[in-house]
Amino acid sequence: MSLSLSVSAASQAASPVFEAGAPFDVPSGQDVTFLDVIEGEDGAVGTAIRFRFLAPRIAREKGDVEFLQAEDDMVALCQDYVLPHMAETGAEMPAQIIIVLSDRAVEFGVADPEATQFFEAYRPEDGMCIWEGF
């Protein structure tokens, strides 16, 4: 099963600058800010690029955004921001784009049992983010 979304008005506008702390609008309305990007990771289907975002409202204890809401946010981040940014900068499309939401900054590759993190993987194809599931 794959999920694809049509190009929205947000993706037709100039892409945002991906700088640490930059805010992004998402469907749930939660505050989401850019953390970092991890490039050149080998994934199950080839080269993957991870865009990591802070989303404090997904926290287990004090959060109020459930996975299903955050899932819509991850699709929007991929479709409306990441793909347009990559196209605008002329970046080579990876085999997979991984969107990561975390309630706190977590060092890449380091386990933090207190952190809540959501991950989704997408295949960039014909200007779309096609859900691949993780």
Rg of the chain (C-alpha set): 14
Task: Judge whether 102 and 117 are in contact, CB under 8 Å.
Answer: yes
- Which is nearest to 35 in space by CA: 26, 48, 46, 22? 22
Q: In angstroms, rounded to a whole number, what is the distance separating the alpha carbons of residues 35 and 84?
A: 18
What is the pTM assigned to this prediction? 0.84
pLDDT tens track of the chain, all 134 residues?
Answer: 333 333 333 333 444 568 889 999 999 999 999 999 998 767 667 889 999 999 999 999 899 999 999 999 999 999 999 999 998 888 889 999 999 999 999 998 898 999 999 999 999 999 999 999 76
